């Protein structure tokens, strides 16, 4: 076992990128300021378009790096706004990887977009799998979603909407891009994975392969106890499931997706035996993507899948993936999908916000809840206990509305609610008796997790 664990540690470790300094005296094309919980420590121009930024945040115990690639002529067109492409590196990597190892600046070329490449690991460590760790010591999702995105939108001339954002990543970053897109489908219109792991829990074979890799990352690369990133899969399986793109795949129905992966055998870029080291990981990646494809197909959710055959877990393939997908990303920006008029969203969080709706669950134990809008003034909520629901700001402030509630866990009722100054309705939605045990635990497997659904109409 010790040899197997050491081998996994070696496989998940990608070579750390060498640091580099700005050459010559290049002036800053933008001024970056503190905001959204980020304190700017330093900004250095690598060249006329590429910035190396260091920030501090209470979400992380150490400073984080952010590389920003601006479109050509950004400073010369002060009224023009640009879409943003968030591009994530992999295990044992850093924010500069895509520009040094992946040739991203050359591949993206003169396309009119802003590319943001943040750390998903501290000090070239193993990374945190883009979660807020249960112990609270590192909060990567808070950093990326709650802080980085609004900071970018405040400091740069972005198109600050879902239609103006895309996200992609390689390896661990590929999991991150798909997990973020599934957990926050109202933030990203397009999501891509390059040798990513979009199924880490839903299918059993992927679950155990992912757990081995993640535990190896925690212990062998980050020097953290096992089960640090998501919690113990026996006692906190709901947290694994709540971050797993395959489990919450329905949330991705309105997201344009593309996945690229090899099968782990030597391919066209594996010219030396040294390049074969990533074959074992790519083999696991292949299984994860294949099962994710089956999951989406079963749900009739469209996506693009490129299982290109021979290829290992190596940079030449990810550079090629970016090259082959960048024009599709630009086309998605040029022809965005509209916000869905109706949607279904599932979350294991106690509170969440999506497409302008806000839900705060009140229950005894953590479990999945599902919000489904079925028209402009009707929705259903599933779970147990009760919830406070805030509607989007589409109502007349001060106007009174009649709310009808009916479901299988509470008697039918009619109430009157007045829209607030923010044009939202605040609705208390009863569901049914709260379950005693957290979902996906041995206790819940015996007692069961009962799901109640309440329908709400507004008139």
Q: What gap in Å lies between CA 163 and CA 336, rounded to an integer?
A: 5
Q: How many residues does the chain have?
A: 459
Partners of 427 in beta bridges: 389
What pLDDT does 19 receive?
37
| Region(s) of the chain under CATH 3.40.50.1820 | 2-334
What's the pLDDT at 17? 36
8 in Cβ contact with 216 (< 8 Å): yes
* Cβ(5)–Cβ(220) below 8 Å: yes
Per-residue pLDDT of 168-190, as tens digits, reads 999 999 999 999 999 999 999 99
Question: Measured in whole angstroms, how far is the alpha carbon of residue 420 from the centre of its chain?
Answer: 32
- The fraction of the chain above a pLDDT of 70, given in percent, is 94
Strand order in the sheet with 50-56: 39-45, 50-56, 64-69, 114-118, 84-88, 165-170, 190-194, 256-261, 304-307
204-216 and 279-299 are packed helices; what angle lies between their axes, rounded to 10 degrees?
140
- Full-model pTM: 0.94
2-334: which CATH topology?
A: Rossmann fold (3.40.50)
Give the whole-angstrom CA distance, residue 129 versus residue 133.
9
Average pLDDT of the chain is 93
Q: Can you tell me the distance from the alpha carbon of 152 to that of 375, in angstroms, rounded to the nearest whole number?
A: 33
Cα 423 from chain centroid? 30
- Residue whose pair of structure tokens reads 């290992």 in the numeric block: 312
CA angle at 450 for the pair 446 and 454, rounded to the nearest 5°: 175
Q: What percent of the chain has pLDDT over 90?
A: 89
Q: Could you write out the DSSP letters of every residue in 176-233?
A: HHHHHHHH-TTT-SEEEEES----SSSSHHHHHHHHHHHHHIIIIIS---TT-SS--T
CA 458 to chain centre: 33
What is the predicted pLDDT for the residue at 271?
A: 86
Per residue in 317-373, pLDDT (tens digit) is 999 999 999 999 999 999 998 899 899 999 999 999 999 999 999 999 999 999 999
Q: Token pair 């757990």 is at which residue?
A: 211
Least-confidence region, from 41-50, 155-164, 274-283:
274-283
Rounded CA-CA distance 372/370 in Å is 6
Nearest to 368 by CA among 355, 381, 377, 353: 381
């Amino acid at each position: 076992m010790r040899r197997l664990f050491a081998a996994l540690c070696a496989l998940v470790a990608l070579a750390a990128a060498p640091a580099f300094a700005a050459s010559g005296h290049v002036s800053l094309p933008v001024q970056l300021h503190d905001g959204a919980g980020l304190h700017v420590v330093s900004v250095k121009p690598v060249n006329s378009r590429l910035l190396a930024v260091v920030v501090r945040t209470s979400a992380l115990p150490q400073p984080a790096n952010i590389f920003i690639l601006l479109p050509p002529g950004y400073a010369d067109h002060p009224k023009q706004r640009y879409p943003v492409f968030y591009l994530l590196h992999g295990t044992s990597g850093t924010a500069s990887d895509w520009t040094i190892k992946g040739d991203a600046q050359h591949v993206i070329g003169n396309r009119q977009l802003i590319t943001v490449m943040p750390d998903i690991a501290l000090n070239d460590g193993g990374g945190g799998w883009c979660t807020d760790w249960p112990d609270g010591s590192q909060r990567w999702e808070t950093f990326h979603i709650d802080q980085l995105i609004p900071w970018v939108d405040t400091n740069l001339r972005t198109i600050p909407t879902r239609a103006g954002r895309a996200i992609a990543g390689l390896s661990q970053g590929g999991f991150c891009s798909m997990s973020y897109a599934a957990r926050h489908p109202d933030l990203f219109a397009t999501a891509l994975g390059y040798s990513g792991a979009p199924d880490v829990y839903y299918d059993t074979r992927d679950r155990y392969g992912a757990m081995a890799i993640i535990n190896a990352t925690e212990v062998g690369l980050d020097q953290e106890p096992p089960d640090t990133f998501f919690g113990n899969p026996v006692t906190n399986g709901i947290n694994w499931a709540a971050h797993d793109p395959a489990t919450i795949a329905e949330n991705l129905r309105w997201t344009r997706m593309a996945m690229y992966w090899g099968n782990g055998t030597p391919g066209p870029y594996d010219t030396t035996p040294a390049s074969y080291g990533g074959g074992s990981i790519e083999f696991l990646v292949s299984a994860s993507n294949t099962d994710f494809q089956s999951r989406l197909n079963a749900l009739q959710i469209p996506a693009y899948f490129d299982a290109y055959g021979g290829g290992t877990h190596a940079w030449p393939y990810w550079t090629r993936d970016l090259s082959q997908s960048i024009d599709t990303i630009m086309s998605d920006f040029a022809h965005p999908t509209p916000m869905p008029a109706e949607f279904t969203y599932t979350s294991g969080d106690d509170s969440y916000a999506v497409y302008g709706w806000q839900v705060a669950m009140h229950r005894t134990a953590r479990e999945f809840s599902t919000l489904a809008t079925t028209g402009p003034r009707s929705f259903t909520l599933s779970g147990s206990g009760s919830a406070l629901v805030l509607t989007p700001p589409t109502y007349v402030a001060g106007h009174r509305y009649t709310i009808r509630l009916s479901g299988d866990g509470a008697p039918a009722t009619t109430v009157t609610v007045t829209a607030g100054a923010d044009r939202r309705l605040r609705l208390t939605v009863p569901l049914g008796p709260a379950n005693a045990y957290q979902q996906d635990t041995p206790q819940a497997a015996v007692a069961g997790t009962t799901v109640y659904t309440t329908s709400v109409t507004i008139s």
